[in-house]
Structure 1
Amino acid sequence: MDNSAFEIHEDGAQNTRSVGKISTISRMEKKKPWSLMKIFLMCLLACFITTAIGVLIVSLVYVNSQPRLNVQLQPAWSTRTTAVLNVQKAVDPKFQFLNHLPKSKVFEFPGGAIQWARYRNNIKDYVSDEEEAFGTSLNSQRSQMTLGTLRIKSKGLRAPHWHFNANEHGYLVQGTAWIGVVDDGGEVATTYNVTAGQVIFFPKNTLHWVKNVGNEDCFFLLFFSTHDELQTLDVDDVFFSTPEDIASRSLKPEGGVNFIRKFHKQTEDQGINLPHNLAELVMNASYVQSPDNLVWRYFFDLKGSKEYRFPGGVIQMAHYLKNGNELSNNEKIFSEFLNEHENALSLSTLRIYNNGLRQPHFHFNANEMGYVLSGCGKVGIISTQGTVEFNIHIGDVIFFPIGTQHYIKSTCDEDLLFILAFSTRDKLQTLDMDDYIQATADHILAQLFLRKQSEFKKIPKFKEDQAINLP
């Protein structure tokens, strides 16, 4: 290198390292036997430690790489418990056909209350396993039926609303109400008054309201032509969901958008509305009645209609009749309007005298749903699995799928009274047990029951219809 000073220093260092190296070698040579033993022992210890660590690492990697088998590794009692939890509770088969509506959840509003016998999309919305069984039955049978009770306090209002997926048929059990229906385009608002025993009808997607104009509560039974979750929209909900500028441009009120901003959505659902300061808000309300040709499309006087009498009871019907000779001119308006709407229902009242029997029968073209208005009784469902029998009382709801043979017996001192709905807009087609036995040839019955043909002559044929009979 050019720097001689550096070269001198490097040589000195090399000389020093050489001396040190010789000195170290000399010391190692003197202690060589002991150093080899230590080295051997240290290597042996290192090998042992390394092997132990290696085994531990391999074990950890192996365990972590295996699939999780928690279910198989659980003790037997744990597996059995899990299996039990996954099995649904056993429910009495009668609840496919029976709903104890008074035990269901009450939906409270400022002006009244609603209860439901219906299908729910979310099973958590059912109050009980029995209620779930009934709702599931309605849906699985594609019943086109839902039932609700509507109670409106005096001066209360069922807010203007419409249903997306169902026609609505109502029967007023108690009270006096003023009804409003807004026709296509809003050009005509049909209004009319109803009293107990009368029927109202609202086609799907028709805006309507119900106002209690009496001093007592109004109590309605409402049937809807859907087996799915009922979809309803109230006018106030629409209003508050609409942007302010859109509502202002649509309604064009005095004051424009500032007028719209004066409205505030209430914390409590106003589905059935009754403000505490109603007297300050409303002055000289008018409850006018529209002309008959408009009213009778949405209204039917069931209590004033023809009575079909039997030995054991009475039936009255609000339904479509192809041959309307039995109907008044106003009833024909209802009948024809009903038949224009797909999935409309037919309503009727069924009164069974004490100890009377609505004999075994079935319907060709409709599911049936009923509500017990008064009395008590026994119901029987006859199917390929046998007969299911159960008792019924006021407020109970029953359901009979299409083609299901069933019977109803009155077991109280008072009459058993139903309001019934059928999932057809056409004439109801029904076959009673005595009718199909009488219509079957004697020799066919003899062969079937292994009895002499002459024995079937003992079954009388009555001049009077025995659909509801007495012993």
Structure 2
Amino acid sequence: MDFTSPSVQFSYDLKNNSLFKKDDRNFINALSVMQLNTLGNVSLLDIYLSRSNVVEPHIHQNASELVYLISGSAIISLVNPFTKKLINLPVTPGQVANVPQGWWHYEIATSDDTHILAIFDAPVPEFIAGSDLLRLTPAEILAHTYCLNEAQVQATLAPITDTVVIGPPSSCMPANNGNPSMSSMPQRQVIGNGWQNG
């Protein structure tokens, strides 16, 4: 980086780079070297969630993630690939949770007005969404691999037509009236290419 260049940037307004917006209370703004060229080997997501909304299960294959809770409350859940156990980490303001690189994880708000800062040790973290794995793997492969009924798998996954990012979709009306059990821990308007925006 040439710090004498007239194009050098030292500040940026996160509101100018919306990665994803479900509605006015559930959205994600992003910051990477694409927006702030002096940033170096770090990036972040500024995440806003209302109660019961979840950043869908996913992995970052090139980055570890430090999750810092600014306001509200959330549960950060991750699967330890070495112990094969699900770990649920409740966080309140001022607390952090660490997700090692490549670990399957998700965040769910347990109160309204939850504000999370996710910090990555990569200039642009890569993202593999659970919704993409489910919708792009043929139903017959899932059914065959796990000894499931193919028609039921196909019918169950048919509503997943795009990357979810923040779920459940606004149109979703689950049997439990949209209130997942926080103890069990179990669409969408994508804006541009996220990290690539301005």
- Report the TM-score range of the alignment, normalised by the length of the smaller protein: 0.7 to 0.9
Match of 1:102 among 12, 15, 18: 15
Tell me: CA distance 1:258–1:242, structure 2 relative to 1, closer, same or farther (3 Å): same
Match of 2:27 in 1: 113
- 1: CA distance, partners of 2:16 / 2:145: 45
Matched, 1:226 2:122: yes
Q: Are the aligned partners of 1:178 and 1:287 in contact in 2 as well (CA < 8 Å)?
A: no
Higher helix share: 1
- Corresponding letter in the other structure for 2:173: N
Tell me: CA distance 1:212–1:238, structure 2 relative to 1, closer, same or farther (3 Å): same
Q: Are the aligned partners of 1:115 and 1:150 in contact in 2 as well (CA < 8 Å)?
A: yes
Q: Are the aligned partners of 1:109 and 1:270 in contact in 2 as well (CA < 8 Å)?
A: no
* CA apart distance, 1:259: 1.3
Tell me: CA distance 1:116–1:284, structure 2 relative to 1, closer, same or farther (3 Å): closer
Gaps of 5+ in 2: 186-198
* CA apart distance, 1:204: 0.6
Matched, 1:259 2:152: yes
* CA apart distance, 1:274: 2.5
- 2: CA distance, partners of 1:113 / 1:273: 11
* CA apart distance, 1:239: 1.0
Tell me: CA distance 1:145–1:246, structure 2 relative to 1, closer, same or farther (3 Å): same
Matched, 1:244 2:146: no
Gaps of 5+ in 1: 1-89, 121-130, 290-471
Match of 1:173 among 56, 63, 70: 70
- Corresponding letter in the other structure for 2:143: S
- 2: CA distance, partners of 1:187 / 1:257: 27
- 2: CA distance, partners of 1:213 / 1:109: 17
Larger radius of gyration: 1
Matched, 1:277 2:191: no
How big is each residue's C-alpha offset from its partner over 1:250-269, in whole Å with a ceiling of 9 and x where there is no partner? 3323xx11111102144564
- 1: CA distance, partners of 2:180 / 2:53: 16
Identity of aligned residues (%): 20
* CA apart distance, 1:242: 0.7
- Corresponding letter in the other structure for 2:165: G
Higher strand share: 2
Tell me the SS of whatever aligns to 2:18: coil
Q: Are the aligned partners of 2:74 and 2:92 in contact in 1 as well (CA < 8 Å)?
A: yes
Tell me: CA distance 1:169–1:187, structure 2 relative to 1, closer, same or farther (3 Å): same
- Corresponding letter in the other structure for 2:68: Y
Give RMSD over aligned pairs: 2.6
Match of 1:137 in 2: 38
- 2: CA distance, partners of 1:234 / 1:197: 27
- 2: CA distance, partners of 1:114 / 1:101: 10
* CA apart distance, 1:117: 1.2
Q: Are the aligned partners of 1:109 and 1:268 in contact in 2 as well (CA < 8 Å)?
A: no
| Residues matched between the structures, number | 177
Match of 2:94 among 175, 197, 215: 197
How big is each residue's C-alpha offset from its partner over 1:336-357, in whole Å with a ceiling of 9 and x where there is no partner? xxxxxxxxxxxxxxxxxxxxxx
TM-score relative to the length of structure 2: 0.78
Tell me the SS of whatever aligns to 1:201: strand
* CA apart distance, 1:148: 1.4
Q: Are the aligned partners of 2:60 and 2:127 in contact in 1 as well (CA < 8 Å)?
A: yes
Tell me: CA distance 1:144–1:157, structure 2 relative to 1, closer, same or farther (3 Å): same
- Corresponding letter in the other structure for 2:31: A
Tell me: CA distance 1:260–1:103, structure 2 relative to 1, closer, same or farther (3 Å): same
- Corresponding letter in the other structure for 1:271: V
* CA apart distance, 1:221: 0.9
Q: Are the aligned partners of 2:110 and 2:182 in contact in 1 as well (CA < 8 Å)?
A: no
Tell me: CA distance 1:233–1:102, structure 2 relative to 1, closer, same or farther (3 Å): same
TM-score relative to the length of structure 1: 0.35
Tell me: CA distance 1:284–1:170, structure 2 relative to 1, closer, same or farther (3 Å): closer
Match of 2:59 in 1: 162
Q: Which has the higher contact order (CA 8 A, sep 6+)?
A: 2
- 2: CA distance, partners of 1:137 / 1:116: 15
Q: Are the aligned partners of 2:70 and 2:94 in contact in 1 as well (CA < 8 Å)?
A: yes
Tell me: CA distance 1:236–1:186, structure 2 relative to 1, closer, same or farther (3 Å): farther
Match of 2:190 in 1: none
